[in-house]
Amino acid sequence: MDVVIVGAGSAGLLAALTLLSERPGASVRMVDAGLPLDDRGRAGPSLGGSGGAGLYLGGRLYVGPAAIPPASPVSTMPGARAIVSGDAYSELARQVDALFTRLGAVAPVRDLPDERLRELIERARDEGLEYVTSYPARFLTADERRRVLDGLFAELRRAGARFTYGTHVADIRRTDDGFALTLRPAGGAEGARAHIEARALILAPGRYGAEWLAGTVTSLGAGVAALPSAFGVRLELPAAVYAPLTAINPDPRLQLPLASDAVVKTYATCPGGYVTPVTRYGRRVASGVPVPADARGPSTTVAVLAQPGVAGAAGAWADGEHAAKRVNDRYPGTLAVQRMGDIRAGRATTARAMDANTVRPTYRDAAPGDLRDLYPDAFWATCEHLLSRIERLAPGVRSDDVLAYAPAEERFWHFPTDERMQTTVPGLFVAGDGPGHSQGSIQAGVAGTLAGRGAAAYLAERANS
């Protein structure tokens, strides 16, 4: 096998297409832990599988200027640089967008948000909040997204690409000729393990594969550096309270920049959704589950996270990265939950208080308790600061009956690469949301294009040596 590509989202698909266009006849296998395209619709909402999250579920295509990796709102690793930016990025983004158009994306470019969103952005700015959005953009319908994905897979199959779904990469080792991979059924299913070898690898697992990616790349001897974690809680509140925001945008991203080299922000809003525990980064953390509009419940859940930069994590936000462990240690095997009113009053939440609470917990096995001493003092102060400003946009957000589940956490890593997305290990490439190279389908497609070119050039160099 010439190349194995892990991840069938935008980055992986564009990497495969570019590689096979620049090196026709190369043997390419794509491996994904999720489902094939035809099976995803029957299985219900899922972030993984053919098309990844952005192109299959989202469909928003930001077509304006950007860079890879995206600019950070906080300080990052010393010496970190843009891999591609300016006119070079814009030309690659134009090519990716043109490909999607050729395959069936007909949505027009919107240069500005609609009037309701513009008004909300202005109101947020008046409260000192940044409303994170990106225009110009195209918004693909579900039919358009399906046409684009059908077209991509048809072109890849004609070019000879092979696909393996429902499969997790359990192990990768370096060999004299490249890499040896051990594959096993995803999701803990029983089944025989398979072994394949490849001259080059492109790892593009998506955002929720970042932890696996960091461990795998490290085990192969490539450089990886952990960045400060974003940490916080996941709130649950009446859906009607947050509706002034979610009726305009189902996932409004509001953030408050802080002088202490951090931002406090809302993240991953699920209107009418529910809270569930997931295991991530070796911790049990609170996650929100989105539901279709016609099946939404009475509550909305949204994470509130503090994201310090490298300098901030060594200062006012020191030790925040250990908050999730402290919560898990105090409340083993479950999530913790506390009423915001009890946090403000400096008292623990009891089971009796939960029984009387007007906001009913969607995760009923959460343990009532006390979270205040498990987070840096700065977190609660800035959380209140953020909520007091959102309160003026969505009255009721600061109700004492709002629930805070803990822990909530997102981790990030820096993956040094060259301009071809090649790591410090020859033949090992990374691309997309997993290594933090992109935010959205166009950026992921640009990163995949670069990785595909890099892998094609690597194979050519090997053939000529």
pLDDT above 90: residue 188: no
Instruction: State the average pLDDT over residues 103-110.
Output: 96
pLDDT tens-digit series, residues 374-420: 999 899 999 999 999 999 999 999 999 999 999 999 999 999 999 99
pLDDT tens-digit series, residues 55-71: 887 789 999 999 999 88
| Residue extent(s) of CATH 3.50.50.60 domains in the chain | 3-105+140-224+415-464
pLDDT above 80: residue 196: yes
Contacts from 353-358 at CB under 8 Å and sequence distance 24+? 357/401, 357/403, 358/238, 358/401
Q: Which residue has the higher pLDDT, 207 or 320?
A: 320
- 410 DSSP β-pair partners: 230
> Which spans in 103-141 are helix H?
115-126
Query: CA nearest 214: which of 424, 430, 413, 11?
Result: 413
Average of per-residue pLDDT values in the chain: 94
pLDDT tens-digit series, residues 241-299: 999 999 999 999 999 999 999 999 999 999 999 999 999 888 999 999 988 888 999 99
pLDDT above 80: residue 98: yes
Q: What pLDDT is recorded for position 76?
A: 87
Copy the structure tokens of residue 299.
Answer: 């509550």
Q: Which residue has the higher pLDDT, 207 or 17?
A: 17
Q: What pLDDT is recorded for position 252?
A: 95
pLDDT above 90: residue 157: yes
pLDDT band, residue 152 (cuts 50/70/90): very high
Q: What pLDDT is recorded for position 190?
A: 65
Instruction: State the average pLDDT over residues 18-34.
Output: 96
DSSP 393: T
DSSP 152: H
pLDDT above 70: residue 43: no
Instruction: State the average pLDDT over residues 138-150.
Output: 94
The class that CATH gives domain 3-105+140-224+415-464 is: alpha beta
Q: What pLDDT is recorded for position 280?
A: 87
Query: Does the N-terminal peptide bond of residue 407 adopt cis geometry, omega within 30 degrees of 0?
Result: yes
Task: Number of helices (H) and strands (E) in the chain: give both, helices first.
Answer: 13, 20
d(CA 46, CA 428): 28
Copy the structure tokens of residue 248.
Answer: 């305009």
pLDDT tens-digit series, residues 415-462: 999 999 999 999 999 999 999 888 889 999 999 999 999 999 999 999
Q: What pLDDT is recorded for position 203?
A: 98
